[in-house]
Structure 1
Amino acid sequence: MDKMVQKVQTWLMEHYNGKDRFETIKEEDIDGIAGTGTVRRLIEALQIELNENFNTKIIVDGSFGLGTLKGLPAIIGKGYNIPNIVCIIQGSLWCKGYSAGEIDGIYGDGVVAGVRRFQRDAGINEDGIIRPYILQGIMNTDGYAFSNNSNSRKSGIHRIQLAMNKYYGLKIGLTAPNGDWDKKSQRNFIKCCQSEWGISVVDGVWGDNTMKSAPTLSKNVSGYKASKILLQMALTLSGNYNGEFTGIFDDATYKAVYNFQDTMEIGAEGVVGKGTWASLLSTRGNTSRKAKAFDTNVRLTSETAMKYKNLGYTDVGRYLTNVKNGVLDKRITPEELDIIKKTGLKVFPIFQKYGRENDYFTQNQGETDGKEAMLAAINLGFPSTVTIYFAIDYDIYKSDIDKYIVPYFKGIHKSMGKSYSIGVYGPRAVCNLLYENKLAEYSFVSDMSSGFSSNIGEVMPVNWAYEQFFEDKSLNIDKCMTSKRSTGVVPDWTNKGGNFNEIKNIYDTVNKYLTVILAITHPASSTPKIYDINKCILAYLRSSNYDITVGIDKVLDKIISNKDFSGLKEFGKGAGWNILAGERHPDIVKTVEKNYPDFDPKKYSFQDPITSIDIEITHFAATLGAYITTFFITDLGKSEESALDSYTGWAGDLIQMYAIISMSLEKGYNYFDNTNLQKMIGTLDGELNGYIMFDKNGEEMSKPSSGFSIVDLIQDVDAFNIYKMYNLNKIEIYNALNDYYYVSAKCKKRYTYFKDFLLAEFKKESLSDVAKIFTSREHSILSDSFEELFGKFDSDKSEQVAKAFQDKIEYLIENEK
């Protein structure tokens, strides 16, 4: 509470309560806070005094408008003899934060000193005399004091505001030079330009009439000093100039103009024409300029797509999904993508479910939206190189961006991982902050919304790919500029892919089968879940190699009753696989075999596009099936389930190799050195010729093998990656395979992904630490039953094997670069 402000409030209450239209001040209003209520009542008091003393007819409304401005004397200075008006000035100065002596109605040295301090902060002549525009600047809640700090951006804005007051304050009014650029600063700056260029209506609104009056400036144009000062101020605001406002079009000014034009992609030539002025003074820029991109919520037809193509457009922004509770069906379809491809256009996807108020944007919502966007993009076949633009489509205050939008994008990153590049559609302040926080790789800037507070006074994001600047209602599109970072892609992936059509056919068959079964057993919900179909397909694809040959009841009883995992040694015969990866339903097997009698999972393979190695499906399907199957023992921890899943893949192959070379060591053949160990992890065909090795029964192997071939390694790595990358609750298995191997070709970085996912899964710092969970006896489920399954191994060598595993993966990662 400020005691002098409290005195001001008391004085107003005593002198004006009950007078014409004065807003009554109650005792509880005497709070010593110089807020809008107190300032409004001071203006009401001034309006009353002007009406009483000068016979004006100003409406007493507490708004310091043109009528109040014109009703004031030309100057009010030392010795002014209307005490109440002087008291109002004193009270206004105190509320503004300037000392003005006691509220006694005397325009003496104290008032003069207070006015001078305000004039100094405003950047105008310090004569201690009140003029109408000065009193208008005092009688509001705008802060005029500027704390000089290391923020060069704020310092530059402060210099602009001071210059506006110095050169144009008398004509257009004062601007608070506090280093913050708001709507009033923007409006006043345009007024400065309009005043200088002789516009008849100085309203602070950028329009065609103002643009037409803008002068063309360059190094070769003499005169126009005032306009050149305005240019330097505008270039400072754009972040391209930090020099003095000299009014000389020198080399520094030329460079700033050129850089600005180059950044905005409006033709870099160093000459300031009307289009450059438009881009400097409004985020919309020159709305008649030619654009190469557009976004639309209307689905393209062959006719409209060709029309846009003939008009010179190259890129189109379309929506991945519909808006929550929206009435428009604006989502893109595969058929539309085919039209876009045939027309020769490129497409960039946009995701917007709602996005028009702060409360929507939370980290949890970001995770949800990220998953939905990723699912939609994958199902439409968009490769992982594509950028998805998440929409922030409202006028968010700059102070709220960090509180709401940043957590939202952190959620998007958490759910999407490295699946797609993440972009943002929104005003400049949003785009800039997300880029600074490394949460958005590209920006689609909503510059069309030039009145947004988060656009005003903001520099163009350095990562902008598209700039939306005009709604063309005749074409039902929003025109967009493109930068050299434009991310549109030609939808040419529809014909890409491996031989996964067979798996798609099996998917459709299983889907139909389950639909019939559900219609009988659960008529109310007869649509099968994608997860159930995927699980059944993977169980089928692991083939009879993994069929059940022993009952699983006893195995389950041991696990449930006393966490005895010894029964899992039977999973090679089928029991464990039915536990870990879901039952291989005989009826589904028969249905698929009936429809596709020539298809045999044991003979089915596809070529890895990176190594050209044929990947057989059975082990791959068994491993992936185990990963996506939730183990249903209620007291089994996540780490134990993750370990069990790993035994079906990379960890099982690693310790099987470990057991073989441990048995070989017993027979006198020592391969426990890093070079040999790395060679045996992901070994190539024939690479172990000449090695003498023994199986777990001590029998010499006729064809030496570590049990961890390159085919096994690729299967293990890819199965784990696909499990982590794709939500197989919602994404069909054939779409996931097609994207991983061909569309997005994420397999190009398979070992990089594998390392990142594995460290996150087990919360370890190194791959060696992860491997030691399985090569030593640290883990709770590593028991004698697993030695029975894989073979005995020398526990003293566990760290060597774990280190070799780490080194081999790191070596493979290096080869991916």
Structure 2
Amino acid sequence: MWVQTAQVWVNENYKDVPGYTEVPEDGRTGWRTMFALTRALQHELGITSLSDTFGPTTESRFTSQIGAITSATKARVVQILACALWCKGYFGGDILSGRYTEDIAASCSSVKRDMGLSDTSPDITVKIMKSILTMDAYVLVRGGDPTIRSAQRWLNATYLSRRDFAVVPADGIFSRDVQKGLMFAIQYEIGMADGTANGSFGPGTVAGLKEKGTVSLGMVDGTRRWVRLFQSALAFNRRPVPVDGSFGTSTKVAVQEFQEFVRLPSTGIGNFSTWASLLVSTGDPDRPGTACDTNVPITATTAAVLTGAGYSVVGRYLNGVTKRIQAVEIRTIHDAGMSLFPIFQEYNNAPGYFTGDIGYRHGSAAVLRARQLGIKPGAVIYFPVDWDATDGDIEALVIPWFEKVRDGVRRARANEYQIGVYGPRNVCQKVCDRGLAVSAFVGGISRGWSGNLGYPLPGAWAYDQIQELKVSTPTGLVEIDKVIVSPRAAPIGPDAVLPTPSRTVTDASGTRVEVNDWFWRLSELTYQAECALERSVGAFAVRKYATELVLYHLQKRKYDDMQFRAYTPQPESVMTDPVQAALLSAARQSFHDSAALVPVEDPLYDVANYAGDLEHFAASTRGYVQWSYTSDGSVGPGDLGAWALDLVTFWAEYATARSADSSLTVGSWCGYRLGYGAAGESSFGETDLIADIDAFLVAKRLLDDADRSLADAVREILTHDDDPRWRYRTFLRERFADDRTRIEAAVHHLFVNRTPWVFPAVSAKLDGARRPGEQADDGSVTEVELVTELPTLARVFADRLLGAPRPPLP
């Protein structure tokens, strides 16, 4: 009631004053009410240019015109004081009367007593009035710490008499104003005069701390109060320590714990480096750091310089046109013995970039990029708040933004990657407190940010950025930020990164290694498929079909006729549950819409990126995924969509050629063509054979590990492209157990076995052509040929897989 009365009174009496801003009459205290009272006081002091700030002009006129508010002060000023007392939670008497009563005097004494002052006379001087016209509290508030309050009250009692020292809150909360008050106190103890002391951590303060500020076990304050100031600084940094001016064992233990926390040598001595870490967000910027971050790509030369300078961890950006990290750079970093931590930043340096849509997009894009680079699940990706966000900004913008980042990161798979936050201390602490980040990369380097003033280092800090540097390398200067590393940090080492497929490109600009664009696109398609399925209401029931969506999308341009639809039907067409079928159908359409943005017609899907036939690979892989695989000397249904019916088609091609030219033989004609040549030269050329082999290898990995993605399985194969025989050796081992007899037995089984799923398929594929060992309609094949045709065809197929030299052209 009394707060509302104060609001009504100030509005009624000053609403017509130029420059006055009316306050809502809602009975709730707050800064707007205090600003209104400040403007009212300025008007009473004869100031015409009113403002919310109790600045030098207000201070000067208050001192010269009033001096101190007492019973002799004019009623309007007493009424303003009474309003402020009510708003601060103290008894303010009858506002309307304007009388300075004994009750108001008692309240004024209580205010000063709560501040910690020894002089509790009711007179209200300029510093006291200036503080009363703020939202500062002088009693322990919720979340406040009694030890911090004790230190605050001691600072007020000890230093308020100095010219530039302002009243600090006595609420038990470490804040920017308390930080500044502590800095003034330190400067006074150094010996700085009024007017010289400025509350900033500058060269004079640094020099003074180094010369006079060291404290250690057994020291007790005398005329100088270094121990108590140091203990206050420890208390403000949430260290359990007495603030009594005596450096005892408990203080030493607190110092050691703090030093360990901020990664200083654990000496237990209050030296300059410890003072600096207690007072400013950079700490001592010249102390050694073992990490750095940079927007400059790391070359082998740069890595050697950095490791030589003691850096073992580097922060690099996942995105950006020129500054983003590349797969080859990750290898360079690891080859140099370093590890890395990833950052995803697109501007993020102003409030306008903190919208829900942007947060969601950043989270999603970071996951895709991390996947493409082979960063394994579980890694922490840091998302920056690269500006000085206030408490209001954090609640209104930053927290909602990180909620959307979280949603974006979880778009395809829950908890695939962990979220980290970069920014001022206050931002990092609050984002972590909300459970929206597991780790903090603190922008301590910007010690002028309000979010770094009056806030201790967050408990979840992993990296602390403290100094900008330029490092000299043989190729020029490289700009880095020095970073301190916490034991809680989990940088990415070589074991946490999968190799990324690459290719060597030679053009007019020279020879360079680039990522394999086909794999890059496939990773994007795989991610889009997972996202489409995860958006489904019944995601738990259909998310396993991501591979199906991608493979069908890749094959349908060439292999989407009735034969293939019968062999590998779309799962939703054969589901017995209509609800599940509808969910998968809707997800397929959603994926199709997004995949259209990454068309398979893109020139990046050419043989420069993949040695096999892309559509063939996709269709064959779907066959294996749906029908599974076998590893013996027989032919399974999965083989039919791959090498088996390709071999049948190839045989039919030979049989047709043989009927026209009796000089042809299986060994020479088939040996020269089977698995060789460009597309079109043979019905079973090299691109077809590679597609069939890769289809088996990929499908086996997917079937053996249900959680493995299509892109990840393909990654394993493409990273061995520098060894042309790797896929053949692996296929031989996994499909035929490195046994030639199994290969030849499988070919024999293909053509002679009457298994229901093999014989009709072979017959249909032959399309009237004879089988190996069958006489031609014209009886032109000799008996010797007929006996050897199938064994020879089996041998030729085995030779091709085993890497035998290519026979000459017949």
Q: TM-score range by the shorter chain?
A: 0.5 to 0.7
Whether the 8 Å CA contact 1:5–1:33 is kept in 2: the answer is no
Q: Residue 268 of structure 1: which of 266, 269, 272 is its match?
A: 266
Residues 1:227 and 2:219 aligned together: no
Query: Structure 2: how far apart are the matches of 1:107 and 1:293?
Result: 62
1:376 and 2:375 correspond = no
Alignment of 1:245-394 (within 5 A): 245-322=243-320, 329-356=322-349, 366-384=359-377, 386-394=379-387
The 5 Å alignment of 1:86-105 reads 86-103=78-95, 104-105=97-98
Amino acid at match of 1:444: F
Q: Please, what TM-score do these two structures have when normalized by structure 2?
A: 0.59
Q: Quick one: which amino acid aligns to residue 414 of structure 1?
A: R
Q: 2:465 aligns with which of 460, 465, 468?
A: 468
2:416 maps to amino acid: S
Aligned pair partner of 1:137 in 131, 134, 140:
131
Q: Match of 1:275, as an amino acid? A: S
Q: Which residue of 2 aligns with 1:111?
A: 104
Q: Who is 2:714 aligned against?
A: 734
**Contact 1:162/1:177, CA 8 A, preserved across alignment:** yes
In the alignment, the residues of structure 2 paired with residue 109 and residue 316 of structure 1 have an alpha-carbon distance, to the nearest angstrom, of 66
Alpha-carbon contact 2:424-2:443 (below 8 Å) kept: yes
> Quick one: distance in 1 between partners of 2:520 and 2:481?
44
Q: What is the deviation of 1:221?
A: 3.9
Any residues of structure 2 matched to 1:162-177 within 5 Å, and which?
162-171=153-162, 172-177=165-170
- Structure 2 residue 172 is the aligned partner of structure 1 residue 203: no
1:404 counterpart (376, 397, 400): 400
State the alpha-carbon separation in 2 of the partners of residues 93 and 238 from structure 1.
31
Task: Choose from 61, 64, 72 the match for 1:80.
Answer: 72
Q: Match of 1:239?
A: 238
Superimposed CA distance per residue, residues 697-732 of structure 1 (whole angstroms, 9 cap, x where no aligned partner): xxxxxxxxxxxxxx9998565453124xx7x5xxx7
Amino acid at match of 1:535: L
1:431 to 405, 417, 428: 428
Distance (whole Å) between structure 1 residues aligned to residue 408 and residue 248 of structure 2: 46
Note the alpha carbon deviations across 1:281-301, whole angstroms, 9 max, x for none: 111111121222111112233
The answer to whether the Cα contact below 8 Å between 2:502 and 2:516 also exists between their aligned partners in 1 is no
Distance 1:342 1:77 in 2: 72
The 1:433–1:107 alpha-carbon spacing in structure 2 relative to 1, beyond 3 Å, is closer
Relative to 1, partners in 2 of residues 1:511 and 1:485: Cα closer, same or farther, differing over 3 Å?
Answer: closer
State which structure, 1 or 2, has the greater radius of gyration over its C-alpha atoms: 2
Aligned counterparts of 2:495 and 2:4: Cα–Cα separation in 1: 73
Question: 1:501-540 residue pairs with structure 2 within 5 A?
Answer: 535=551
SS at match of 1:185: helix
Q: Relative to structure 2, which stretch is displaced further, 220-229 or 182-191?
A: 220-229
Three-state SS of the structure 1 residue aligned to 2:161 is: helix
What whole-Å deviation, never above 9, does each CA across 1:204-244 have from its counterpart, x for those lacking one?
22223212212001014454562211211211121222x43
1:216 is aligned to 2:214 = yes
Q: How far apart are the structure 2 equivalents of 1:558 and 1:261?
A: 61
**Which whole-Å CA distance do the structure 1 matches of 2:520 and 2:314 have between them?**
37
Q: Structure 1 residues 420 and 80, CA, compared in 2 at 3 Å: closer, same or farther?
A: same
Instruction: Indicate the SS of the match to 1:476.
Output: strand
Q: Does the residue aligned with 1:233 lie in a helix, a strand or coil?
A: helix
Q: Check conservation: 1:347, 1:491, Cα contact below 8 A.
A: no
SS of equivalent residue, structure 1 residue 478: strand
Give the SS at the match of 1:481.
strand
% same residue? 26
Describe how 1:480-629 pairs up with structure 2 within 5 A.
480-491=483-494, 535=551, 552=566, 622=623, 624=625
Mark the CA change 1:302 to 1:134 in structure 2 (over 3 Å): closer, same or farther: same
CA contact (8 A) 1:389 1:425 kept: yes
- TM superposition shift of 1:497: 9.2
For 2:462, the aligned partner's letter is: A
Tell me if structure 2 keeps the 8 A contact 1:468–1:479.
yes
- Whether the 8 Å CA contact 2:115–2:153 is kept in 1: the answer is yes
Matched residue SS, 1:431: helix
* In 2, Cα distance between equivalents of 1:135 and 1:102: 19
Q: Name structure 2 gaps, 5 residues minimum.
A: 472-477, 505-513, 523-545, 580-599, 601-605, 630-696, 721-755, 758-810
Q: Deviations over 1:462-495 (max 9, x none)?
A: 4432111122257521110112334334558899
Q: Name the Cα RMSD after superposition.
A: 5.2
**How far apart, CA to CA, are the structure 1 residues paired with 2:344 and 2:24?**
49
Deviations 1:350-393 (A, max 9, x none): 11234345675577655543332222123223334543222232
For 1:100, the aligned partner's letter is: G
Structure 1 CA distance, aligned partners of 2:349 and 2:116? 39
Seen in structure 2, the aligned counterparts of structure 1 residues 79 and 10 have a Cα distance that, compared at 3 Å, is same
Which amino acid in the other structure matches residue 142 of structure 1?
A: D
Cα distance, 1:61 vs structure 2: 5.2
Asked if 2 retains the 8 angstrom alpha-carbon contact of 1:413 and 1:439, the reply is no
* Distance in 2 (alpha carbons) for counterparts of 1:129 and 1:94: 17
For 1:167, give the aligned amino acid: T
Gap change, CA 1:140 and 1:425, over 3 Å in 2: closer
- CA shift, 1:404, in A, is 1.6
Cross-structure match for 1:758:
none
Q: 8 Å contact 1:100–1:114 — kept in the other structure?
A: yes
| 1:4 equivalenced with 2:5 (yes/no) | yes
Q: For residues 159 and 348 of structure 1, do their structure 2 counterparts lie closer, same or farther at Cα, with a shift above 3 Å needed?
A: same
- How far did 1:279 drift? 0.6
Distance in 2 between residues matched to 1:77 and 1:419, nearest whole Å: 63
Letter in 1 for 2:468: E
- 1:259 CA drift (Å): 0.3
Counterpart Cα distance in 2 of 1:558 and 1:601:
21
- Matches of 1:622 and 1:356 in 2, distance apart? 50
Question: Quick one: distance in 2 between partners of 1:561 and 1:121?
Answer: 75
Partners of 1:623 and 1:716 within 8 A in 2 = no
**Gap runs ≥5 in structure 1:** 52-56, 323-327, 513-529, 566-584, 586-590, 605-616, 627-646, 650-710, 741-787, 790-817
Query: Within the alignment, does 1:128 sit opposite 2:122 as a pair?
Result: yes
- Which residue number corresponds to residue 54 of structure 2? 64
Given that residues 554 and 614 in structure 2 are in contact (C-alpha distance below 8 angstroms), is that contact kept between their aligned partners in structure 1? no
Shift of 1:396: 2.9
Cα distance change on mapping 1:176 and 1:564 into 2, 3 Å? closer
Is this contact kept in 2: 1:619–1:715, CA < 8 A?
A: no
Assess if the C-alpha contact under 8 Å between 1:510 and 1:533 holds in 2: no
User: 1:142 offset after TM fit, Å?
Assistant: 3.4
